[in-house]
Chain A
């Protein structure tokens, strides 16, 4: 069975400082992993995805994530936070053998001026 745990429900950073949003996953098969962002009352937008190619994945808006199989982690980072990054972030796992997408609980990122 697949599952995903986002280790922080809320993260607060100052503008211009690094962002780290943590995600651990569990999957019986080789997983596909995704990070999505959601702004208030909006749909979800894909930030980046891992599908068994390079372990360091670069996404939009300066975000990147590293797939670490030994640690079953897929943490999202950004070197310098911007006010517009304030949103809800979701880590998602999909097993290659099923069509299901499993979401983490979400992490709210607050960016302070």
Chain B
């Protein structure tokens, strides 16, 4: 089945530790996105990538890092510099031509204690 997979579904980390969230897609999509979701704030864009080996900062990139070494994969690292990392993280992908919609993973809920 084609789709976009995020893992793990739940993640717990101690404060001060870096943590990497996985996002893989087998839809042959060009673009991939990371969003953070907090109650009452909608989805805020962290990073996005339109092509392999290139990515752009979104609205809240501070304290996060990404890589796009393969078309299928777009991992997100939440670093210790992120002041409030506890949130629900969503990954998405889409084709860039024709105004196509994005497909979303099921999300990773990160809790930092």
Contacts and interface: CB of A to CB of B under 8 A. Distances in A.
Interface of A: 9, 32, 34, 36, 41-46, 49, 51-52, 90, 92, 94, 96, 99-106
A101 B33 contact: yes
Contacts of B45: 100-103
A34 B92 CA distance: 14
Interface string B82-113: 00000010101010101111111111010000
Interface residues of B, number: 28
Contacts of A106: 40, 42-43
Nearest to A104: B42
Interface string B37-50: 00011111100101
A49 B104 contact: no
Nearest to B32: A99
Contacts of A32: 99
B98 A51 contact: yes
B74 interface: no
A105 B105 contact: no
A90 B109 contact: no
Contacts of B99: 32, 49, 51-52, 94, 96
A90 B96 contact: no
A103 B58 CA distance: 12
Given A43-B90, A44-B90, A9 B40 contact: yes
A41 B107 CA distance: 8
